[in-house]
Amino acid sequence: MDYIIRAANVEDCKDLTRMIMELAEHEKVTDHVKITQKDLEQDGFSKNPFFHGIIAEVPEQHRSKEGHTKIGYALYFYSYSTWKGRAVYMVDLYVMPEFRGKGIGKALMSKVAQLGLAAGCTKLNFIVLNSNKSSLDFYFRQGCSDVTADLGYHYMSCSGEALERLAQP
């Protein structure tokens, strides 16, 4: 199948929003998604972006059943490890179900890895739901390891009222 992997631009935000919701539906967490197309436009394509993105796109003749040509994406940002130095964090990796198994997910992940290496990163980090066995198997086939199991880390988060309380002096 013909497809290209390219840098996302502000015009892709409508499709990014659609695919983010598709991923959330797949993971059964749509109630957690609060981001809007406007948020993506501002946060990813302003002077100081909070994230970067890449898009998988097919030619018109291979468009999805619903008529979409933008059929996958990866969002990422750069971070830092006090043990290993520069790192790239992949927030999402998604390919529409009808396009899976064609190497597109691997191509997206490979591009994030290439961009990370070009920026001097020594690690690619991301999270996966325990219940997403097919994705876990995919990542293990790519040579990734589960640091939760290997090192005993717990990914922690603080948000909402707890974050507001924490920010009080």
Beta carbons within 8 Å of 30's beta carbon, 6+ residues apart: 21, 24
159 residue type, one letter:
S
Q: How far is CA 90 from the centre of its chain?
A: 5
Q: Please list the active-site residues.
A: 139
Look at residue 168 and tell me if it is in a domain.
no
Look at residue 145 and tell me if it is in a domain.
no
Residue-number span of the structural domain to which 61 is assigned:
4-126
Q: What is the CATH number of the domain that holds 17?
A: 3.40.630.30
Look at residue 140 and tell me if it is in a domain.
no
pTM for the model: 0.92
Look at residue 97 and tell me if it is in a domain.
yes
**Mean pLDDT, rounded, for 123-148:** 91
Look at residue 113 and tell me if it is in a domain.
yes
Give 1-25 pLDDT, tens digit per residue. Answer: 899 999 999 999 999 999 999 999 9
Look at residue 13 and tell me if it is in a domain.
yes
63: exposed, middle or buried (Cβ count in 10 Å: 0-12, 13-18, 19+): middle
Give 31-58 pLDDT, tens digit per residue. Answer: 999 999 999 999 999 999 999 999 999 9
